[in-house]
């Protein structure tokens, strides 16, 4: 796999040693059990897979290289390159300006840009309309494009099934940059509609079966369907693709449900299902799958609590939190500073979009057992920072340096 140049400030000697050791011991990635960091009175179980994925490292490499190569030029990011506050803050510190916020609200008008300006396309990609606006100004969007290859894979798969006259159903968060981009690319080729979850999928299925009047669709799915969408015609034949950071199990459940709806409506057999339903399972992102599967492996360990580190607007991170919440107390934080003391932690509730402080935080019993993971846009340095903060509250039997030496043996 291609190697990227990622600033040293995002790297961690401890995490690097752990990942190298696990990779050597498990080349085929069959073992999803966590790594135990045994400090004596506190035991931290680290997920098998977490942190920067291929797409994020690619984006960071391109962005920082773009800054170095364009000294003196105005450099813009279309929106947050990835959903990590530290990385985006570092880019701003280097003079990069943001054209839009996460939801597409304009911060810097496109009209103020010139052909000599540099615009970096984020890892989520962008819509065809925005791409055309920038190109009309004379900005080469393809030159500094950090779109994740796995997002582009979804676009390519959508185009392939569009050529066979399938409608595209996108499983994603409607306001997320990636979903907006995927919707734009799919809708340029074929009728397209977005569903956020199984509840919306069930609602959509009632238009497929005719249980609901087609006219109601346009209000219920307002802003979610492509121009000229005809319910009676465009839901007769389709395939499902996803925002790559959704829960893989949710996307699969949605696809399986819709497949059964089509089998029942058209009395199809397994060998004829492709007449109405396209197989698009290969659009699931490998990193999303690995990180989520690693959390399932992590949760097999009995523990007192879980900590998930990452940006609060990170979709893939919120899904890791969601999985952990089903099993035990879970704290979603974006850096070690949110661990206020041994007794208090400030954490984020992604359901309500609010932060709160929990006291007490760590239990009195020893050893305290903590499950730990992070999102695909979270630097390993932040994870090591969280480990160091937790360890600082105890009279530990081993130091982080001793653990590094042990994994390097």
228: which DSSP letter?
T
The domain that holds 68 is classified in CATH as 3.40.50.11270
Q: Are residues 324 and 366 in the same domain?
A: yes
Q: 389 with 400, same domain?
A: yes
The answer to whether position 142 is within a domain reads no
Query: Count H helices, E strands: the chain?
Result: 14, 14
Note whether 62 and 44 are same-domain residues: no
Domain with 335 in it: 8-53+287-408
Of the residues 57, 177, 178, 322, only one is catalytic, namely 178
Confirm whether 158 is domain-assigned: yes
Highest mean pLDDT of the ranges 4-8, 94-98, 102-106: 94-98
Is there a domain that residue 143 lies in? Answer: no
Structural contact between residues 317 and 311, judged by C-beta atoms closer than 8 angstroms: yes
| Whether pLDDT at 73 is above 80 | yes
Residue whose tokens read 């506190």: 42
Number of separate domains in the chain: 3
Q: How far is CA 366 from CA 43, 241, 301, 371, 390, in A?
A: 9, 46, 16, 15, 13
Distance separating alpha carbons of residues 333 and 375, to the nearest angstrom = 11
Q: How confident is the model at residue 248 (pLDDT cuts 50, 70, 90)?
A: confident
* Residues 128 and 159 occupy one common structural domain: no
If asked whether residues 291 and 271 sit together in one domain, one would say no
| 172 and 119, same domain (yes or no) | no
| Single residue among 254, 283, 312 that ends a domain in this structure | 283
User: Going by DSSP bridges, is the β-strand pair 345-349/354-358 parallel, antiparallel, or unpaired?
Assistant: antiparallel
- In percent, the amount of the chain with pLDDT more than 70 equals 99
**What's the alpha-carbon Rg for the chain, to the nearest Å?**
23
**144 within a domain of the structure (yes/no):** no
Residues 91 and 129 in one domain: yes
Whether 201 maps to a domain, the answer reads: yes
Statement to judge: residues 249 and 195 lie in one domain: yes
Residue in the block written with tokens 């590094």 = 404
Domain membership of residue 246 (yes or no) is yes
- Active site includes 178? yes
279 and 294 belong to one structural domain: no
Note whether residue 3 is domain-resident.
no
Task: Report which secondary-structure segment, H or E, holds 120.
Answer: strand 118-120
End residue of a domain, out of 233, 265, 283? 283
- State the average pLDDT over residues 79-93: 92
What does the pLDDT read at residue 2?
A: 75
pLDDT at 260: 95
pLDDT surpassing 80 at residue 282: no
Q: Quick one: 341 and 386 in the same domain?
A: yes
323 and 221 both lie in a single domain:
no
> Mind listing the pLDDT tens digit for each residue in 124-178?
999 999 999 999 999 999 999 999 999 999 999 999 999 999 999 999 999 999 9
Q: Which of 260, 283, 306 is a domain's end point?
A: 283
Structure confidence by residue, pLDDT tens digits, 174-226: 999 999 999 999 999 999 999 999 999 999 999 999 999 999 999 999 999 99
Strand blocks (E) in 342-392:
345-349, 354-358, 368-374
Instruction: Looking at the structure, tell me whether residues 223 and 260 fall in a common domain.
Output: yes
Whether 2 maps to a domain, the answer reads: no
Buried/exposed 40-75: b ≥16 CB within 10 Å, e otherwise: eebbbbbbbbbbbbbbbbbbbbbbbebbeeeeeebb
Q: Is 202 exposed, middle or buried (0-12, 13-18, 19+ CB in 10 A)?
A: middle
The string of DSSP letters for 9-49 reads GG--HHHHHHHHHHHHH-TT----PPEEEE-SSEEEEE-SS
Residue with tokens 């569903």: 195
CATH code of the domain containing 386: 3.40.1010.20
């Amino acid at each position: 796999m291609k190697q990227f140049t990622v600033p040293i400030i995002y790297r961690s000697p401890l995490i690097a040693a752990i990942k190298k050791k696990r990779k050597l011991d498990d080349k085929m990635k069959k073992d999803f059990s966590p790594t135990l960091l045994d400090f004596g009175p506190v035991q931290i179980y680290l997920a098998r897979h977490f942190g920067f994925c291929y797409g994020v490292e690619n984006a960071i490499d391109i962005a920082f290289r773009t800054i170095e190569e364009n000294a003196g030029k105005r450099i813009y990011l279309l929106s947050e390159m990835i959903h990590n506050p530290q990385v985006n803050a570092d880019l701003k510190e280097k003079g990069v300006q943001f054209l839009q916020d996460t939801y597409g609200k304009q911060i810097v008008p496109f009209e103020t840009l010139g052909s000599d300006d540099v615009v970096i396309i984020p890892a989520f990609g962008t819509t065809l309309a925005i791409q055309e606006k920038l190109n009309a100004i004379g900005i080469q969007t393809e030159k500094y494009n950090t779109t994740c290859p796995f997002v582009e894979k979804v676009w390519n798969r959508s185009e392939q099934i569009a050529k066979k006259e399938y409608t595209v159903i996108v499983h994603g968060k409607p306001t997320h940059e990636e979903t907006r981009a995927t919707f734009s690319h799919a809708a340029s080729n074929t009728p397209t509609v977005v569903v956020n979850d199984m509840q919306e999928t069930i609602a959509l299925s009632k238009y497929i079966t005719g249980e609901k009047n087609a006219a109601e669709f346009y209000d219920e799915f307002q802003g979610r369907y492509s121009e000229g969408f005809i319910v009676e015609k465009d839901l007769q034949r389709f395939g499902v693709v996803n925002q790559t950071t959704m829960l893989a199990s949710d996307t699969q459940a949605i696809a399986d449900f819709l497949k059964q709806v089509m089998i029942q409506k058209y009395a199809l057999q397994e060998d004829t299902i492709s007449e109405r339903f396209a197989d698009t399972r290969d659009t699931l992102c490998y990193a999303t799958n690995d990180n989520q599967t690693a959390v399932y492996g992590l949760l097999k360990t009995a523990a007192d609590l879980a900590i998930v580190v990452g940006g609060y607007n990170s979709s893939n991170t919120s899904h890791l939190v969601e999985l952990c919440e089903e099993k035990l107390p879970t704290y979603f934080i974006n850096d070690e500073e949110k661990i206020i003391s041994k007794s208090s932690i400030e954490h984020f509730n992604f359901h309500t979009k609010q932060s709160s402080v929990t006291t007490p935080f760590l239990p009195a019993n020893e050893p305290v057992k903590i499950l730990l993971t992070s999102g695909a846009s979270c630097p390993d340095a932040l994870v090591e920072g969280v480990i160091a903060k937790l360890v600082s509250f105890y009279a530990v039997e081993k130091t982080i340096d001793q653990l590094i030496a042990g994994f390097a043996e």
